[in-house]
Amino acid sequence: MDVFEAIVSRRAVKQFDPSHRLTPAEERRLLEATIQAPTSFNIQHWRFVILRDPELRARIRTELGNDQAQITDASLLVLFTADTRAFAKNPERYWVNAPQEVAELLVGWMGPFHAGREWLQRDEAQRSIGMAMMTMMLAATGMGYQTCPMIGFEIEQLAQLIQLPSDHVMGPLVAIGKGTKEPWPKPGQVPLEELVVENHF
């Protein structure tokens, strides 16, 4: 599928075939595409929690997820999280294939840029989540699957349930699978002229 076609055709689908599963090869292909998303300093903050256990998913749906069917029915349910301290955890590995002088320069910048700026650490982690989510959804669309990004769940309780480390942040869920119902027509885009600003407001 053409990338522009994937961008236009991707929609949030709520109804999935609960009997369908991605193959291990499809799942790996999807995740390998997802980690091609860009991150600041190539830090790759994301940590993808694959919620595979049917009992866990049922509990999330009934207790934390406002009884949204896609939580249990989607072929794959991915919770996006990110490590806010990834910049300080063996940062040399992010530039292992770069020329030595480039790697030393960027690894040397990484710590001072982030240190003591917790707001920036969190912002960068959430930016990374957003870019990875869009990459995953477009890749899934290109593979013939439907997706649904989701934030309608009890964030703090789900963080406890999955034992989220204290230096990580929560992002949305993404449900992926075979849709069983056509989405509504797009509700409407704001005209481009209202969204684009030249040089200053």
Angle 100-114/118-142 helices, nearest 10 degrees? 120
Domains, the chain, in order of start with CATH, read 3-194 (3.40.109.10)
Residue 138 is which amino acid? Answer: L
148-180 pLDDT, tens digit per residue, is 999 999 999 999 999 999 999 999 999 999 999
Distance CA 65, CA 57 (A): 9
pLDDT band at 112 (very low <50, low <70, confident <90, very high): very high
Where residue 144 falls (left for φ over 0; alpha for ψ -120 to 50; beta otherwise) is left
User: Could you tell me if 9 and 63 are in contact, meaning their C-beta atoms sit under 8 angstroms apart?
Assistant: no
- pTM: predicted TM-score of the whole model, two decimal places: 0.93
- Sheet containing strand 168-177, strands side by side: 46-50, 76-83, 168-177, 146-150
32-66 pLDDT, tens digit per residue, is 999 999 999 999 999 999 999 999 999 999 999 99
Per DSSP, what are the bridge partners of residue 48?
Answer: 80
3-state secondary structure of 80: strand
Ramachandran angles phi, psi of 165, nearest 5°:
-60, 155
User: Could you tell me if 17 and 73 are in contact, meaning their C-beta atoms sit under 8 angstroms apart?
Assistant: yes
Per DSSP, what are the bridge partners of residue 81?
Answer: 47, 170
pLDDT surpasses 90 at 83: yes
Question: How many Cα atoms occupy the beta-carbon half-sphere of 99 within 13 Å?
Answer: 2
122-136 pLDDT, tens digit per residue, is 999 999 999 999 999
pLDDT of residue 184: 83
